[in-house]
Amino acid sequence: MTLASSLVLLSGIAVLWRHSLAAYIRAFARQSFLIVVAMVLVAAQTGDERLYLVAALVFLIKVVLIPNVLQRVQRHVGADLEIHPYVNTPASLVITGALTLLSYGVALPVTALGSLPTRGGIPLALATVFVGLFILVSRKSALSQIIGFLILENGIALLAVLATFGVPLIVELGVFLDVLLGVLVMQVFVYRIRETFDTVDVDRLKKLRH
Amino acid sequence: MIPWLLEGLQCLLTLLLAPGLIGFVRLLKARLQGRRGAPLVQPYRDLAKLLDKERVVSTQASWIFHAAPFVVFASTLVASLLIPLVAAPLPFDRVGDLIVVVYLLLLGSFFLALAGLDTASPFGGMGASREMTIAALAEPTIALAIFGMGAGAGSTNLGEIVARTLAHPGSTLGSGHLMAFAALFIVMLAECGRLPVDNPATHLELTMIHEAMILEYSGPYLALVEWAAQMKFFLFLALLSNLVCPWGVAVALRPGTLGLAVAALVLKLAVLAAGIAVLETRLAKLRLFRVPELLGVSFLLALLAITSSFLVR
């Protein structure tokens, strides 16, 4: 379980050191798949059938559907490299290390108090949330920002599974719908940005066109 | 008496198997790339040929140039005494632990870099500066990964780690241990001059690192340096495989277990070498300026390893 969570975090970090957007999308799909694995493991441990259903839905939406949508966007927009992020790669990696330490520090009381078998993964899930947030603020391309948002969301989903063995099904469904619609709306936005400004680099949006 | 014979056996294994390991990786790579490749014994032939040739030394060279091959060779050989290749509690465990092993290997790189600078050839200086840059970047990762591994087992003593892992595989082989393994693997690629960092098959002046440093060496000196490099690769691989997968290492001394241990060692090395061959076939060399990013990743892995093994008990 801890292993699955650390792999989730690692595929989040993979985004920070790769440059191509296709690799970002693959890393996100891999991360979602690892979350499915973690969910199935938790479900097998607790014997909760609804968690299997949630895991199946996550697989359908986050491993198959969203990466496909993103790949189509990426092909259509024709942006394939995140060239100059606000923070360069080595600095990002160091910052990620600091964020991970921070989340361990924050989660220390929780892991010390709790007696859950899954408590080893909680700081890692928290760190995934932080890494997602960091990608969101440090990358320029609109597509990588979407990926950052999705990684953040993955971290929250993992945290929910590890800390509470899954939230009620209706909440989970609401979140899925939210994420799916969010991605679709953002897809439209990316197209619009691209049409208007001829780029998906959000740094350029500061200037008015004329 | 027997334990000391074991040390001798480890030394001998390192000396004899190291060129074969390199030959195996080269052969496998050649096959994967659709070439026939040189036979497995080619590195042995190369060494024999080099040992037989005369040595040419620049008139500008100082004693460092003459001493470096011996220092490199000896320090690598001493490191082989400390690593549990075939048996776990070794008599030399009292002398030093994982930290000593790593820095013995680094001592060799340091002297090679000095020798590269010694003759004042431009290539030697370039190679030395690159090698030292990479060593300096790899250094913190090595230290952190060692402590990550040590924290899992409660000791940095290699025999202790192996014995502890064999006794309680569940508690030591956590995610921290595996991340430390990944970090050390990347560092191994950098330190041994394997592909994403340095290309062992090329002599193109713009890209080479290790080759540039030893460009001035010839004859028996070159043989010693090459042999030491092969032993270093062998030792790193053996260290990695026995730290993560120590099964097969002889804990009790019976002739049967020892034979089994040698066979297991060869098998594990073959698996790792095959992995490296596949990796090197798939990867292109990184630009020199992207090497710090790769080593940054390995540093991060080591940091995660140490936090997850220290903070989550």
Residues A175, A195: Cα–Cα separation, whole Å: 30
Cα B231 from chain centroid (whole Å): 7
More confident: B92 or B13: B13
Instruction: Give phi and psi for A145, each to the nearest 5.
Output: -70, -35
Contacts of A89 in chain B (CB under 8 A): 293, 296
Examine the pLDDT at B172 and tell me if it is beyond 70.
no
Predicted-complex ipTM score: 0.71
**For position A94, what pLDDT does the model report?**
82
The answer to whether A140 faces chain B, any CB pair under 8 Å, is no
Domain boundaries, chain A: 2-206
**For position B227, what pLDDT does the model report?**
92
Residue A126 Cα, gap to closest chain B Cα (Å): 13
The mean per-residue pLDDT over the stretch B275-298 comes to 82
Whether this prediction's pTM lies above 0.90 is answered by: no
pLDDT band at B196, cuts 50/70/90?
A: confident
Examine the pLDDT at B127 and tell me if it is beyond 70.
yes
Contacts of B178 in chain A (CB under 8 A): 3
CA angle A72, A73, A75 (to 5 degrees): 65
The mean per-residue pLDDT over the stretch B278-289 comes to 80
Residue B104 Cα, gap to closest chain A Cα (Å): 28
**For position A89, what pLDDT does the model report?**
77
The mean per-residue pLDDT over the stretch B239-260 comes to 78
pLDDT band at B97, cuts 50/70/90?
A: confident
Which of B292, B296, B307 is the closest to A100 by Cβ? B307
Examine the pLDDT at B70 and tell me if it is beyond 90.
yes
Residue A69 Cα, gap to closest chain B Cα (Å): 28
- Of the ranges A90-104, B44-58, B179-193, B249-263, which is most confident? B44-58
* Nearest of A120, A41, A92 to residue B299 by alpha carbon: A92
Cα A79 from chain centroid (whole Å): 20
pLDDT tens, position by position, A21-77? 788 888 888 888 888 888 888 888 777 777 888 888 888 888 888 888 888 888 877
The answer to whether A2 faces chain B, any CB pair under 8 Å, is yes
pLDDT band at B11, cuts 50/70/90?
A: confident
* DSSP-derived secondary structure letter, B285: P
Contacts of A101 in chain B (CB under 8 A): 303, 307
Examine the pLDDT at A148 and tell me if it is beyond 70.
yes
pLDDT band at A7, cuts 50/70/90?
A: confident
Non-local CB neighbours of B179 within 8 Å, separated by 6+ positions: A6, A10, B148, B301, B302, B304, B305, B308
Residue B137 Cα, gap to closest chain A Cα (Å): 11
The answer to whether A191 faces chain B, any CB pair under 8 Å, is no
Interface of B with A in 17-76 (CB under 8 A): none
Interchain contact, B175 vs A2, CB within 8 Å = yes
Alpha helices in chain B (DSSP H): 2-32, 42-52, 63-82, 98-118, 122-153, 158-167, 169-172, 175-191, 210-213, 219-244, 255-282, 291-311
The answer to whether B10 faces chain A, any CB pair under 8 Å, is no
Interchain contact, A17 vs B297, CB within 8 Å = yes
The answer to whether B292 faces chain A, any CB pair under 8 Å, is yes
Interface of B with A in 294-313 (CB under 8 A): 296-297, 299-301, 303-304, 307-308, 311-312
Q: What is the mean pLDDT of chain B?
A: 83
The mean per-residue pLDDT over the stretch A99-117 comes to 78
Name residue, tokens 């004329």. Answer: A210
Which of B179, B296, B307 is the closest to A93 by Cβ? B296
Interface of A with B in 80-99 (CB under 8 A): 89-90, 93-94, 96-97
Residue A93 Cα, gap to closest chain B Cα (Å): 6
Interchain contact, A124 vs B308, CB within 8 Å = yes
More confident: A116 or B264: B264
**For position A6, what pLDDT does the model report?**
72
pLDDT tens, position by position, B32-68? 888 888 888 899 999 999 999 988 888 888 898 999 9
Non-local CB neighbours of B13 within 8 Å, separated by 6+ positions: B80, B85, B86, B262, B265
- Of the ranges A175-184, B119-128, B162-171, B217-226, which is most confident? B217-226
Contacts of B303 in chain A (CB under 8 A): 97, 100-101
Interchain contact, A100 vs B303, CB within 8 Å = yes
Q: Which two tokens stand for residue A124?
A: 């890692």
**What domain range is B211 assigned to?**
2-311
Q: Which residue in B has a C-alpha nearest to residue A9's C-alpha?
A: B304
pLDDT tens, position by position, B217-239? 888 999 999 999 999 999 989 88
* Nearest of B305, B175, B313 to residue A2 by alpha carbon: B175
Instruction: Give phi and psi for A20, each to the nearest 5.
Output: -95, 140
Sign of the dihedral through C-alpha B265, B266, B268, B273: positive
Contacts of B174 in chain A (CB under 8 A): 2-3
Residue B289 Cα, gap to closest chain A Cα (Å): 11
More confident: B103 or A1: B103
Number of structural domains in chain B: 1
Examine the pLDDT at B74 and tell me if it is beyond 90.
yes
Examine the pLDDT at A210 and tell me if it is beyond 60.
no
Alpha helices in chain A (DSSP H): 2-17, 21-46, 49-58, 66-77, 89-113, 122-138, 142-164, 169-197
- Mutation for B interface: A81, A89, A116, A130, most B CBs within 10 A: A89
Cβ proximity of A205 and A193 under 8 Å? yes
Instruction: Give phi and psi for B250, each to the nearest 5.
Output: -75, 125
Which of B174, B300, B307 is the closest to A96 by Cβ? B300
Cβ proximity of B170 and B216 under 8 Å? no
Return the number of other C-beta atoms located less than 10 Å from residue A105's C-beta: 12
- Mutation for A interface: B177, B293, B295, most A CBs within 10 A: B293
